[in-house]
Structure 1
């Protein structure tokens, strides 16, 4: 049996592509999801990947969930923090709950999941953590002060945790996707989407599989000299 990987938000969109790519790379994958049982179960049956339901914003649920994964599959060697939500609006209209929900899920979820696996990785002398940030955490975006703050925080979190794990062969990196052709982006009105694509030098949206290939590299056995880095996969839209 290969390395055990946990992918949060791993049953749809970018997370689905990551789960499938890690399985193809020979890993035993556990994909977590927050609430859509029908979608998750269909994904599991179609792809032979075990799924687990918990809210990454819930610290105790993360600790218990990882314990269950390890009981079922073995120690977690690879963690991909992909789960995230949006609650977009301007500062004038944003209430505290919209701020807190996004911070707790997108940034707090990285802490909760890393807390659940990091000590074990250090003790075993091997681990790969990849946190999915965003171009909007690097460049900012109108109407997304909560999302941009959380994703920007992920990049700082990555650099700091990488320093703690380095001597034990535990690498921590981030990927900052640009605009990717997922269901969420496809739902954007056509005229708005055209304006987004016009700002991307390669003149197209990215593919979820392109993000997944970056994750496969950063979680591989031979990527041990790469840590504390952010890989921007955005078609040249923001060079940072």
Structure 2
């Protein structure tokens, strides 16, 4: 994509801010938005810790802990001081942990919801007034099929993504009269480092002799398309949603699943 000299730079002049943008889906989206002309900032808790140092040449990298309101404010101020007002917000920061309702601690519950749901709320609250004032904006929330399908040992994750869908719809309504769209993209399993670390944890916890690679192969086999969704697929959709022609997709929950339920 980046080698395509005919790339449509329709986002020239726009500023994008991607949370969770140093890895996985967030990074793929940040790169796609940049290829199409946007000035891009990425935020991460790992910023400044040596992780993603090479990305400083491509993006404005800021320290961001979406669980901390002050961190959100400082990161947003840094982005706007360096690049200008935020036109596109991508809420891609997220965490998960497998634990059933029985024995689930309050601390873990709040950590997952505070990151996946409240973090998106804090960032949206920070940039939405400016978007409304300028009469144009796009907010893209990275959800999951977990928003609409329950999954064993994932109550906090499922609840956080279901809540994110509710937030998406409310923001879409609030922004609609002002040219501001808000849409959620809900992929099934995506082939990222997080997928492999999660499957490694599952394999270790099961203690049945299955490896992480075995579990990944099971996920691939269970998908009707017999494959795992790639980060670039999510990035391509996120980029398309920033087009003026895609404004009518505001409020939608668009799933990228290959036919899988989860």
Q: TM-score over 0.5 for the alignment?
A: yes
Query: Partners in 2 of 1:199 and 1:142 — Cα distance?
Result: 17
User: Residue 221 of structure 1: CA displacement?
Assistant: 3.0
Match of residue 147, structure 1, among 136, 157, 162: 157
Instruction: Name the residue aligned to 1:105.
Output: 115
Contact 1:173–1:229 (CA<8 Å) still a contact in 2? Answer: yes
Contact 2:19–2:64 (CA<8 Å) still a contact in 1? Answer: no
Instruction: Name the residue aligned to 2:54.
Output: 42
Query: Partners in 2 of 1:101 and 1:127 — Cα distance?
Result: 29
Contact 2:88–2:139 (CA<8 Å) still a contact in 1? Answer: yes
**Superposition pairs for residues 81-160 of structure 1, below 5 Å?**
81-160=91-170
Instruction: Name the residue aligned to 1:28.
Output: 39
SS of residue in 1 equivalent to 2:52: helix
Q: Aligned-pair RMSD on alpha carbons?
A: 1.4
Structure 1: tracts of 5 or more residues without a match: none
- Superposed CA deviations along residues 14-67 of structure 1, whole A, max 9, x for unmatched, are 11100000000110000001125212212224xx21100110111122122111
Instruction: Name the residue aligned to 1:9.
Output: 20
Out of 83-92 and 26-35, give the one that drifted further. 83-92
User: Residue 190 of structure 1: CA displacement?
Assistant: 2.2
TM-score, length basis structure 1: 0.95
Instruction: Name the residue aligned to 1:208.
Output: 231
**Superposition pairs for residues 193-232 of structure 1, below 5 Å?**
193-232=216-255
- Please say if 1:51 is aligned against 2:51: no
Query: Partners in 2 of 1:93 and 1:17 — Cα distance?
Result: 36
Structure whose CA Rg is larger: 2
Query: Partners in 2 of 1:236 and 1:2 — Cα distance?
Result: 37
Instruction: Name the residue aligned to 2:214.
Output: 191
Out of 162-171 and 188-197, give the one that drifted further. 188-197
Out of 115-124 and 220-229, give the one that drifted further. 220-229
- Superposed CA deviations along residues 53-87 of structure 1, whole A, max 9, x for unmatched, are 11011112212211121111101000000000112
SS of residue in 1 equivalent to 2:244: coil
Instruction: Name the residue aligned to 1:69.
Output: 79
Structure 2: tracts of 5 or more residues without a match: 1-11, 200-211
Q: Would you say how many aligned residue pairs link Structure 1 and Structure 2? A: 237
Query: Partners in 1 of 2:35 and 2:221 — Cα distance?
Result: 34
User: Residue 93 of structure 1: CA displacement?
Assistant: 2.9
Contact 1:33–1:40 (CA<8 Å) still a contact in 2? Answer: no
Query: Partners in 2 of 1:182 and 1:7 — Cα distance?
Result: 17
User: Residue 128 of structure 1: CA displacement?
Assistant: 0.2
